[in-house]
Structure 1
């Protein structure tokens, strides 16, 4: 991600808007305002800032002059760019963005656990999985695992892109966590 895009995204509401567009597909400033509890003027302002950096785009031919529809651009977004991490401001922006994204993911996971799994009529239909594995890996094995998992996720995402509005499609989140645990067992 270039410095301009990183700066544009380094705002909690913009992360939230970008994430909603990524997860739930096209939205208007008004629908995003309802989802976030912000004013449509505020969401509209932040949408334009994201669009200026080509992180999102307006959908041509959809909506009206008063109601513009927005979607996430088809470009990959990576936060481990050496250029971004080379400066203190780039590191700070990356940290803010990642904290916002991961905070949203954790809230979504906890909501899933508390609402869906705890529901009296919950039945395991095989459409969700919370899996944790503890293994000992070399750095090369960790890199290989990350690469293999990324290929699978990228393949499925590419195959699903453009089919969001088809019947029986629902938004899902895919979360793959691979990281070395602290040697001292401290969870800080």
Structure 2
């Protein structure tokens, strides 16, 4: 994998969390990461917001380094935005000793990630009849219950991420027949069985 093909990820810290932990900002960033550059007006239409609101939140994301101008797209007064990074890394250990404001922002961030996963899954369930039988068979909505130590859980997460990363370069160009962009959600957390 070349440096250009490498998936650029950003590690969240307290400062960047302040600029991101807002539901609309997170949705705007996700959309730019998944669908590519867009204008504030296009994003406003997509989310049923005013272009003033999306412009404001895009400027906040830019101030914290999450988005930037897409100069090759802009013509005249039309401002196009693009995501700077293709992924986010959130390490809960970095926020354990943070003050209440930052811990609250971390909670907003985590709940919005969970809400996004639920929305995406619901959207798939609503639209699956429009996809081929092959895609229905290729999709997954499963769960498993294991007994693990925290160390084994962390190892499993690392191995799952490595497995997923190994599939990134298997389908190269946009012209590959039957290739589609897919979303993969993984969740691993302890449960109380009492």
Whether these two folds match at TM > 0.5 is yes
**How far did 1:2 drift?**
2.4
Q: CA RMSD of the aligned region, Å?
A: 2.5
Q: 1:182 — aligned with what? A: 192
Return the offset for 1:80. Answer: 2.0
1:29 paired residue number: 40
- Cα distance per residue 1:33-60 (max 9 Å; x no partner): 1111111121111111101111122112
Show the counterpart of 2:5.
none
Q: Does 137-146 or 29-38 show the bigger shift?
A: 137-146
In 2, Cα distance between the equivalents of 1:16 and 1:173? 15
Which residue in 1 is equivalent to 2:106? 94
TM-score (norm 2): 0.79
CA distance in structure 1 between the partners assigned to 2:56 and 2:158 by the alignment: 37
TM-score (norm 1): 0.82
Match of 2:84 in 1: 73
Shift of 1:120: 8.1
Shift of 1:75: 6.1
Which SS does the other structure have where 1:134 is aligned? coil
1: distance between equivalents of 2:93 and 2:147?
27
Partner of 1:9: 20
Alpha-carbon distance between aligned partners in 2 of 1:81 and 1:133, rounded to the nearest angstrom? 23
Measure the CA separation in 2 of the matches of 1:121 and 1:18: 26
SS of the aligned residue for 1:61 comes to: coil
State the SS of the aligned residue for 1:113.
Answer: helix
Shifted more, 20-29 versus 102-111: the winner is: 20-29
Which 5+ residue runs of structure 1 have no aligned equivalent? none
Instruction: State yes or no: 1:106 paired with 2:103.
Output: no
> Would the aligned equivalents of 1:85 and 1:94 in 2 still touch at CA under 8 Å?
no
1:122 Cα offset (Å): 5.6
3-state DSSP class of the match of 2:145?
coil
Paired residue total: 178
